Amino acid sequence: MVQEALFIGSKLKKLRRDKNINQKNLALELGISPSYLNLIERNRRGLTANLLLKLTDIFDIDVKQLTQNTDKQLENDLTEILATDIFADFAITNQDISDLTLQNPEIGKAVIRLFDKYNLRQKQYQKLVNQFISGTDQAQTMQHADISPEYMTELVSDFVQTNKNHFPTLEQAAERVRVDLTLMGEDLFYSLKSFATNSFALRTQVAEFNNDENYLYDGQLNLLSISKFSSHQSQIFCLAEHIGLFAAKNEIDDIIEAADFEDERVNNYLEKILARYFAACIMMPYDNFIAKAKATRYDIDLLCHYFNVSFEQACHRLTSLQKPGNKAIAFHFVRTDIAGHISKRFSLSGIKIPRYGTACPRWNIFAAFMQPGRINVQISETPDGNTYFCIARAISKGVGGFGKPLRHFSIGLGCKFMHAKSMIYSDSVNLKDTNQIVQIGATCPVCQRYACQEH
């Protein structure tokens, strides 16, 4: 039987560009013409088994990296979008969406971008109507009406997801800085403070503010003022983040250029996210952190103790450990407030995290609010039959002085069920007991569990 050719042009093109190889040279190594390779990358020709094996040798990768559909979040987002009323007249199946994600991911991303723009315009229109009714001046609303904080967040989140939340050049930049820090004593904050002053003339002070900001930066004085009400971990993170803007400037600029966002406000936001990534690398060095993570079976409280970081910081760092040859478990990460608004989301495990709605109320990220500070464990089964091992903990942020309410979040971290035994939290449940499994969905509007009691 003749093997069916693979259509993975977009994936091949990205891999080639990541390795900085032009079409002519790759075609030469494959023994085909550049025009034929161009047709393959445009999905006008399929990839034969012979060419597939050659590519795995050239790029030194596993066959699965080329043949598997790894962009599950793209597929999940498209499923959520195409289930809305706008597309009710179209008989689009889950298989159609899977095929599109595999064969033409750029078209899928374009659909998401258009839908995001549509949502933004709808919100702006409603706001203008409300202002017209109330007689409010519309000038301020029309200014910068083409973008919103939510839209910027989604654009950057998609970029981070595409890169699997792993940026090797920032890891390397942080390692260079860590070498200098080891010469300045054990207290990381004061080592960073001395390094910032000596290397970039960046002065740092811990001060009391009259507002809710965690820090204030005076560019003219090159002075960073960090709130005394922030936790010690937050103070270290804030200082490391600003050092990253200097120490990893070239690396950050290169990543922003590669992202190719047209709006400068999106670039500025991405710059902040990348500086925070650098800060996490400073506080939790890759090799040391992943070694401790594996040795403790991903005991997050112990990781917090070893590296003097918060629960959220440790969980978020676990999602970025994807260095080839030394990877951690492929985790998903989600942060939500009590109202169900998801402010952070990332999925390497493949679980569906909603882009537009609130998460399934049966997720343990909501049950965690009932027991603040405690780890809530759940074996979760999604409608597609996949099973995941998930933990969640509710946390609070803020000083909590009189008249200043705390902010409450739930942090969720999870992986495919096959990795459950690698996490210490699996010791608290019987993994063989099917009664332990909780059937969850992504978000109610697109959930296929019609008999669910939450509906």
Phi-psi region of 298 (alpha: psi -120 to 50; beta: other; left: phi over 0): left
DSSP 194-236: HHHHHHH--EEEEE--SSS-SEEEETTTTEEEEETTS-HHHHH
Residues 331-378 pLDDT 10s: 999 999 988 888 899 999 988 888 877 888 899 999 999 998 899 999
Residues 142-162 pLDDT 10s: 444 456 777 788 889 989 988
Portions of the chain given CATH number 1.10.10.2910: 168-283
Alpha-carbon distance values, 292 to 172, 185, 288, 298, 424 (Å): 19, 22, 6, 8, 13
Residues 308-323 pLDDT 10s: 999 999 999 999 999 9
The reported pLDDT for the residue numbered 425 is 97
The reported pLDDT for the residue numbered 133 is 66
Portions of the chain given CATH number 3.30.450: 328-446
With H, G, I as helix, E, B as strand and everything else as coil, classify residue 278.
helix
- Angle formed by the axes of helices 105-134 and 94-103, to 10°? 110
> Scanning the structure block, which residue is given the tokens 């494959």?
30
Q: What are phi and psi of 222, to 5 degrees?
A: 50, 50
Q: Which residues of the chain have pLDDT under 50?
A: 1-4, 138-145, 455
Q: What are phi and psi of 320, to 5 degrees?
A: -105, 5
CATH architecture for the domain at 168-283: Orthogonal Bundle (1.10)
| pTM, to two decimals | 0.76
Please give the single-letter amino acid code of residue 209: F
Portions of the chain given CATH number 1.10.260.40: 9-68
Q: Spell out the alpha helix ranges (H) of 345-455.
A: 364-367
Alpha-carbon distance of 261 to 279, in angstroms, equals 23
- Angle formed by the axes of helices 232-247 and 188-200, to 10°? 30
Supply angle C-alpha 415, 360, 76, rounded to 5: 60
CATH domain 9-68 topology: 434 Repressor (Amino-terminal Domain) (1.10.260)
Return the bridge partners of 437, or none.
379
The reported pLDDT for the residue numbered 414 is 96
Alpha-carbon distance of 374 to 366, in angstroms, equals 13
The reported pLDDT for the residue numbered 174 is 97
Supply angle C-alpha 404, 392, 371, rounded to 5: 60
Identify each DSSP E strand in 312-375 by its residue range: 322-323, 326-327, 332-337, 342-347
Tally the residues of the chain.
455
How far is Cα of residue 83 from the mean position of the Cα atoms in its chain?
23
CATH domain 328-446 topology: Beta-Lactamase (3.30.450)
Supply angle C-alpha 18, 21, 23, rounded to 5: 120
